[in-house]
A = this chain, B = another copy of it.
Amino acid sequence: MKVLVLNGPNLNMLGRREPGIYGRATLDQIEEKVLELAGRLGAEVVFFQSNHEGDLVDRIHGADGTFDAVILNPGAFAHYSIAIRDAVASVSVPVVEVHISNVHAREDFRRRLVIAPVTAGVITGLGMDGYLLGLRAVVELVRKRAGE
């Protein structure tokens, strides 16, 4: 099973960026943890981070047929990128959306989730664990689909 973990804008700044909101773990540390769990779950994981909306769209397209699932933390794009929404809707690979912070508890504009309606599900507020739970979620999703 191959899983693509896509991280959007500013997530390269994790650890340095507003640690009161996002915690002190860096993206590298998160990837390490994800890899470790992936090993235990028998999944292969590829990571990609970009601050460019178009790159994320390209990668989502590229995941179709080459990955079994996508874990997507769209960062700020979650709130306005209809282009990424359409990209997710245009592929058949299942996507689970993850947010480190509890977006429901922050500025009003962060309550608008434009990509979420076309994902399989959303995990918010659980910090770095969100990625691990997301990995478990997609592994389960793929297994269920395969079992049908």
Contacts and interface: CB of A to CB of B under 8 A. Distances in A.
Interface in A107-148: 109, 111, 113-114, 116-126, 129-130, 132-133, 136-137, 140-141
B116 A126 contact: no
Given A109-B114, A121-B124, A133-B136, A76 B83 contact: yes
A46 interface: no
B104 A116 contact: yes
A41 B10 CA distance: 33
Contacts of A9: 54, 57, 83, 86-87
A126 B94 CA distance: 11
A27 B102 CA distance: 27
Contact of A122 (B83, B104, B118): B104
A105 to B, nearest CB: 4
B61 A50 contact: no
A101 to B, nearest CB: 9
Contacts of A54: 9, 50-55
Interface of A: 8-10, 12-13, 16-18, 50-55, 57-58, 61, 64, 75-77, 79-83, 85-87, 89-91, 96, 102, 104-105, 109, 111, 113-114, 116-126, 129-130, 132-133, 136-137, 140-141
